């Protein structure tokens, strides 16, 4: 099956990434502006996650398959690495990030979302 990655169910994926970009970006912005000294690593990682979500939203919207694949890989690696580190070294994460505990605070959607995105891109190649 070939076709555009920004049509059909791809539009729902774009909407979810846009929503996550807004949610993660807003949360990180408030945390950085009001309490950055409490958990600078966690809040910076949440801002990074928001940037990845923005990049994915734009890449999927424009049909930039290669950029979307790279961004999805970064997102999946981030969720797995940060998720594991947040459980192993809880002192390093005094507050949650978007990717802490594999996205537990976001109903594990950050863990599932890159897998759905990779599947969608694979089906549309």
pTM of the entire predicted model = 0.91
Residue 67 to residue 24: CA distance in whole angstroms: 20
Query: According to the model, what pLDDT value does residue 2 have?
Result: 52
Tell me, what's the pLDDT at 9?
A: 83
Q: Mean pLDDT for each 10-residue chunk of the chain (125 residues)?
A: 72 95 95 95 95 96 94 97 95 90 94 95 85
Q: How far apart are CA 14 and CA 90, in angstroms?
A: 32
Residue indicated by tokens 């996650």: 49
């Amino acid at each position: 099956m070939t076709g555009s990655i920004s049509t059909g169910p791809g539009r729902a994926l774009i909407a979810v990434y846009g929503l996550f970009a807004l949610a993660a970006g807003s949360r990180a912005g408030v945390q950085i502006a009001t309490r950055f000294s409490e958990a600078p690593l966690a809040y910076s990682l949440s801002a990074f996650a928001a940037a990845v979500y923005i990049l994915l939203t734009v890449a999927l919207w424009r049909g930039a398959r290669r950029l979307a694949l790279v961004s999805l890989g970064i997102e999946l690696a981030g969720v797995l690495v940060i998720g594991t580190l947040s459980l192993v070294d809880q002192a390093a994460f005094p507050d949650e990030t978007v990717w802490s505990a594999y996205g537990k605070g976001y109903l594990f959607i950050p863990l599932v979302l890159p897998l759905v995105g990779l599947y969608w891109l694979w089906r549309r190649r």
